[in-house]
Amino acid sequence: MRKTIPVIGMACSACSANVENKLRSIAGVNEATVNLVGRTASIDFDPSQVSLEEIKKQISDIGYDMVIDDELSVQEIEARAWKLLKRKTIMAWLFAAIVMCLSMGWFNAGGRDAANQMSLVVALASIILCGKDFYVNAFRQLRHSTTSMDTLVALSTGISFLFSAYNTFWGDVAWGLQGLEWHTYFDAVTMIIAFVLTGRLLEEKAKDSTASSLRQLMGMAPKTARVVNKKQPTEGDEAGEMVPISTIEKGDFLEVRAGEKIPVDGEVTWASSFMTDDAAYVDESMITGEPTPAMKRVGNKVLAGTIPSQGRLRLRARQIGQDTALAQIIAIVQQSQNSKAPVQRLVDKAAGVFVPVVAIAALLTFVLWLLIAGFDALPQAIISMVSVLVVACPCAMGLATPTALMVGIGKAAERQILIKDATALEQLRKVDALVTDKTGTLTIPNKNVVDFTRANDLALDERETLKPNAREVIDALKKMGIEVHLLSGDRDEAVNYWAQQAGIDNYQSGVLPADKERLVKQLQGEGKTVAMMGDGINDTQALALADVSIAIGSGTDVAMDVAQVTLMGNDLQSVPTAIDLSRRTVKMIWQNLFWAFIYNIVCLPLAAGVLHLFGIEFQINPMWAAALMALSSLSVVLNSLRLKYKKLQ
């Protein structure tokens, strides 16, 4: 059984790696992939060996939660979590402002000692009321020998607080008698908590935007249906009341009126509109991308989520729930957004060791300060160590790939392009050879030709029609550096004619399925990355072998099952669009990774105080470190969101 389950409480790539590693360690779980941005886990497991309840319990043990109820409860939980995070952030800034005023002497608190003691109380309140989750999660993860961003925040604020508390009560004795100046850093504690929470608040809001395409698809799914007589209805039967979609069963008869969503996949049993007594017109653009409403008569198939634009119709439910075409589209988009590109697996490995490495770097910073500057530099050594812990950010690295992928795959879905996994999206950019079938892919059979006995007597352009924009699409592919090959089992005269009409230079006629497979192998042998596009059973061998397989949505189920990319409409413009989107998405991933790594490479030494070695009195203090850490994660997400507004090929 494969399930996609929401996960609550993940804040960084180390978190998602912890959840993924834990899932894979559970007996009965065959495979698991965790998506930080989508906040979901895609799990392949054996229900006879382990239940979802047991999986949930084991994930809870390491500080996270899984939602195994229905979708509504997920939305409610996320809404409550958002409100709670917002309240904590506001409260954290209030505490930070109070401590800042006390430390700057803006409040007449009765002297330095009184101000420090008041700051201690406020900082402790901030830790308990706003930052408790950092410590709880860090402790749970420590018990299971794992770490995350929570570990760094808990360490940095905990060390700062304990050192400041010690100085508050014993600073004069420990340092004053030696003539050393001492300070407290309660302002750093409260500001770190406030900045980290603010970063997560903004990050969550931005991550929601990256998942907007999927939510838009989910919003197309109807929630209610109008039931007609459960038995065989007649035209005169009155439609019943609206009922929840969950109560509909296969074989039920339903009525849908203009402007309402068709609730299930079904077969029309009766239709009427003001234009004709035996048909209704249904807007299927959300599935096919075709702007013209489709005429539906008795016996025609209708799909869940589509909307009658004229008239009304009745239908018999054929596919319900997760079996509808819309539900399967949503599942494919969700699954592909959960999948990982090859580059992400390398980043995950780096993120898995990032937190321990940073902790070691912070400890080395502390030791080196004492070795170089002596014991008198203990306060500086502690602040430098805290700054290193705070400024390090595995979040930006972890978000670099999934945010770009979610936006890219979601944007493709909006264009009626279904991409089944991240690998396909990454591979599309490399395509430099496209092999395409003719009939049903490049051309449309002429439905008016019914007398097959004289179909060689008809003119070639009467037997079938070139798809709209086909010539322009082929020209666009050539400009993108892609070599196009047309293969068809049709006779040479027809294939030659349509190749010329489409502007294709390389073509073969009279080919069998094995011949298509052979050409794909040949092109791959020449070092080309090959995409195969087809719509029939005779294309499946070549589709399975190609580097990227593209199926036409109007084709056979077998072809679509094999294909990594499905074009839901008949517009061939989707092909260069998909390739252009792939190139832009991968470019965005590398941009994100570059800035994430550069951020850490530059900020870690500055936080450690390296410039002091060269006589430059500049160092990132804990407060600025917290702000920069939050900004780095947010910048990666916002950069990925730019893809939503890019104009594609």
Q: Which residues are marked as active site?
A: 437
The single-letter code of the amino acid at 232 is Q
Number of Cβ atoms within 10 Å of the Cβ of 8 = 16
Interacting residues of 166 by C-beta distance below 8 A, sequence separation 6+:
174
Edge-to-edge strand ranges of the sheet holding 548-552:
417-419, 565-567, 548-552, 530-534, 433-436, 483-487, 506-508
**Interatomic CA distance for residues 256 and 281, integer angstroms:** 12
**Interatomic CA distance for residues 388 and 365, integer angstroms:** 8
**Interatomic CA distance for residues 276 and 289, integer angstroms:** 25
Q: 537-544: long-range contacts (C-beta < 8 A, 24 or more apart)?
A: 538/437, 538/489, 538/512, 538/513, 539/437, 539/513, 540/513, 541/513, 541/514, 541/516, 541/517, 542/435, 542/513, 542/516, 542/517
Q: Which of 7, 14, 70, 18 is nearest to 42 (CA)?
A: 7
Q: Which of 155, 127, 158, 138 is nearest to 15 (CA)?
A: 138
Q: Which residues pair with 43 in a beta bridge?
A: 3, 32
**Interatomic CA distance for residues 156 and 127, integer angstroms:** 12
For residue 399 the two structure tokens come to 């978000």
Edge-to-edge strand ranges of the sheet holding 265-272:
242-244, 224-227, 253-257, 312-319, 265-272, 301-302
CA atoms within 13 A of residue 113's CA, in its CB half-sphere: 4
Q: Contact, 24 vs 410, CB < 8 A?
A: no
Instruction: Give the chain's end-to-end CA distance (angstroms, integer).
Output: 39
**Interatomic CA distance for residues 356 and 462, integer angstroms:** 70
**Interatomic CA distance for residues 626 and 524, integer angstroms:** 50
**Interatomic CA distance for residues 155 and 140, integer angstroms:** 14
Helices (H) and strands (E) in the chain, counts: 22, 22
Catalogue the E-assigned strands of 303-452: 307-310, 312-319, 417-419, 433-436, 443-445
